[in-house]
Amino acid sequence: MGLGLRRIGKTFVAQATGYDLRQPLTPTQVAEVEAALAEHGVLVFGGQPLDETQQYAFIKSFGPTTVATLKEIAGNNQNFFDVGTVDDEGKPIAGDSVKGEYLRANRLWHTDGSFNQPPIRLTALLARELPPVPPPTEYADMRAAWDALPASRQAQLEHLMVEHSVLRSREQTGMTAEKFTSDTLQTRKPVSHPLVRTHPANGRKSLYLASHASHIIGWPLEKGRALVEELIAFATQERFVYSHPWQVHELVMWDDRWTMHRATAYDGPHPRKMRQCSVRELEPV
Ligand SMILES: [Fe+2]
């Protein structure tokens, strides 16, 4: 059975049916998912109760996986990045712990791993356990945002380079540099990426932004920061945003090259267990 796709967002996002992701994907199926991500940006696969081994096998079929080595957040299995409310032992993650502070920045609009070089390319997030009213995850279409800019504005932006850093996103929610390990500070130096990216599958252009984006290379810091903030505000207007209401055992996969996302606040007592894994670009961007 082929991949069924039904658009559920205004400009992007599709419900994807027909695949059992617990089974290994064939090369044809991988190509179908890649093509769907290039077209829709975010795919929602319902009814996928994957265990760790199956989720890792799934993401691995799309390229080299990202290893979650940041000591601030690492769990027992470095192939995954858990973004829920409890740790591996089921204990609540305190909001004022280092991990709690790190995770709070997920409420800022971002694309995953843009502070890496090469950055993350695709992310797959599985809802393992949810509270009765799950907090939605919001997604923004940076391709539609780019298309909506006047041509004169596009020409001004096209060749700019942006500095990205994990410290930049965290400082915006109060997690300052001294909270990071010396290893992180040594190994996660700022990187630069183009502000505008072209998707290799279809030649479509998009903005490439994130809370990790600090400023424009070669510009005065404040001027560059103001432009980054202005463009994130532009790209996350309601007309470019899809809000996903989670169901348990949904796996949502997204293309980090042209979408942003953010978590919404949840401080309730019921555990929320979300397990994320990702693959990176093959070459520096
Ligand atoms: Fe994320």
53 part of a folded domain = yes
pLDDT tens for 118-176 read: 999 999 999 999 999 999 999 999 999 999 999 999 999 999 999 999 999 999 998 88
Please say whether the beta carbons of 37 and 43 come within 8 A. Answer: yes
The pTM score is 0.96
> Which structural domain, as residue segments, surrounds residue 243?
4-280
CB-proximal residues (5 Å) to ion ligand 1: 112
pLDDT tens for 260-279 read: 999 999 988 899 999 999 99
Query: What integer pLDDT is reported at residue 268 of this predicted model?
Result: 86
CA of 6 to the centre of ligand 1 (A): 24
How many percent of the chain have pLDDT more than 70? 100
CA of 119 to the centre of ligand 1 (A): 13
Please say whether the beta carbons of 46 and 250 come within 8 A. Answer: yes
CA of 110 to the centre of ligand 1 (A): 6
pLDDT tens for 62-111 read: 999 998 877 777 778 888 988 889 888 888 898 888 888 888 999 999 99
Query: What integer pLDDT is reported at residue 77 of this predicted model?
Result: 87
pLDDT of residue 1 exceeding 80 = no
The SS3 call for residue 145 is: helix
CA of 276 to the centre of ligand 1 (A): 9
CA of 112 to the centre of ligand 1 (A): 5
120 part of a folded domain = yes
How many percent of the chain have pLDDT more than 90? 80
285 part of a folded domain = no
Residue 280's DSSP bridge partners are 120
CA of 161 to the centre of ligand 1 (A): 22
CA of 152 to the centre of ligand 1 (A): 31
CATH of the domain at 272: 3.60.130.10
166 part of a folded domain = yes
Mean pLDDT of 206-230: 98
The Cα 99–Cα 107 span in angstroms is 14
DSSP E strands, 208-270: 213-216, 241-244, 251-255, 259-263
Domain count, the chain: 1
